[in-house]
Copies of this chain bind each other. A is one copy, B any other.
Amino acid sequence: MTERVVLAYSGGLDTSVCIGWIAEETGAEVVAVAVDVGQGGEDLDVIRKRALACGAVEAEVADAKEEFADEYCLPAIKANALYMDRYPLVSALSRPTIVKHLVAAAHKHGASTVAHGCTGKGNDQVRFEAGISSLAPDLKCIAPVRDYAMTRDKAIAFCEEKGLPIATSKKSPYSIDQNVFGRAVETGFLEDIWNAPIEDVYEYTENPATPREADEVVVTFEKGVPVALDGRPVTVLQAIQQLNDRAGAQGVGRIDMVEDRLVGIKSREVYESPGGIALITAHQELENVTVERELARYKRQVEQRWAELVYDGLWFSPLKRALDGFIDEASEHVSGDIRMTLHGGRAVVTGRRSQQSLYDFNLATYDSGDTFDQSMSKGFIELFGMSSKIAAKRDLAQ
């Protein structure tokens, strides 16, 4: 029986060429798998038929948008996951979603190998391969661009030679990855890190500098999960999509940064994540209101490690599971409403209310009704500062 290779298929030039290229390099049959995580573009059925037309023995397509939102974006929101305090992990979240479908297809079709279209210098190759080896340690991985030197020029030549039904017209100047949680853009002129992005780079967000009316939204969370916008129930997917529209219309969620890749180099990245940034902003402030101080302080460290792990492609790792154990417990009381103004590129919290609030007006107020016993403070300060004071006595004596 012929070996089978499952290919992560996008419908574009590169992965369409991969179908035949892999067949030639390995002698295997290629099963194409396309996963919709909200990247937009063509109809899934069109993509499926193109895969078959390009030589795939089987082609599968899956609408994974709800799954992506519920199982991948939501944990990121609960973790306030911002790699390097900025980047909401857009691509890093979609890869494990896709991996799960690739592995399922490999099992179903008896494939021994999974292939993907990544280059050899990015993070996504790691996310694919580390993910696959954690869900199916016996599957092999290949990356034709990296392993078989399938350059773009060679791909175009292959495409034309074989008469594949794909346009090989001039490439977009932008290298783009997008899904419902956001959009990543790289491009030649941005590789000079002194150059500013131009408006042309952006698609999910309007220009924040354009004068327009502000939008106001109330996001309701239950145990860390966004469940309503302006009082209307939403799924996580809907929350992201609707806030993509509303926050995007106000220019919210643009990120331009120099980033530390897992492969050891620094790269310039431009991102848009209007829904992601709006939801994380709201979620952070609701935690400020509902999470106890020491838990909140420790959770920041957990969040950083969570974001690094997921950025680094270790979604399916034991440490990720244990950090989720912490985060789930910490999210138990993160319920309530956050009101935000969306305007001028910013999502600004203007109000919070929660049945789970730890903000106690009577303890906080400086007006009448204050119940805080200020006489406790002297003893507190004395013992809180005691170890520093004893050290100071020693140090000043010398």
Contact = CB atoms under 8 A, between A and B. Distances in A.
A378 B377 contact: no
A259 interface: yes
Report how many copies the assembly holds.
4
A265 interface: yes
Contacts of A191: 361, 364-367
A366 B285 CA distance: 39
Interface residues of A, number: 129
Interface in A174-210: 175, 186, 188, 191-197, 208-209
A135 B388 CA distance: 10
Given A346-B346, A379-B375, A392 B133 contact: yes
A85 to B, nearest CB: 7
Most chain B Cβ neighbours within 10 Å, of A119, A121, A259: A121
B346 A208 contact: yes
A146 interface: yes
Nearest to A119: B374
A364 B123 CA distance: 12
Interface in A353-386: 353, 356-361, 363-367, 370, 372-386
Contact of A374 (B121, B129, B313): B121
A43 interface: no
A26 interface: no
A352 B392 contact: no
Interface in A118-134: 119-121, 125-126, 129-130, 133-134
A104 interface: no
Given A194-B352, A304-B301, A344-B346, A296 B260 contact: yes
Most chain B beta-carbon neighbours within 10 Å: one of A367, A385, A394: A385
Interface string A192-232: 11111100000000001101001000000000000000000
Contacts of A197: 350
A108 to B, nearest CB: 16
Interface stretch (A28-36, A241-249, A324-332): A324-332
B394 A358 contact: yes
Contact of A377 (B254, B263, B341, B377): B263
Contacts of A374: 119-121, 146
Contacts of A363: 121, 265, 390
Contacts of A293: 260, 264, 266, 387
10 contacts: A130-B385, A188-B367, A196-B350, A209-B343, A264-B387, A294-B387, A298-B322, A312-B384, A324-B329, A379-B379
Given A193-B359, A292-B319, A318-B391, 18 more contacts: A121-B372, A133-B392, A137-B390, A195-B351, A196-B339, A208-B346, A259-B288, A264-B384, A264-B386, A265-B360, A265-B386, A294-B388, A295-B322, A301-B304, A322-B327, A325-B328, A358-B391, A363-B390
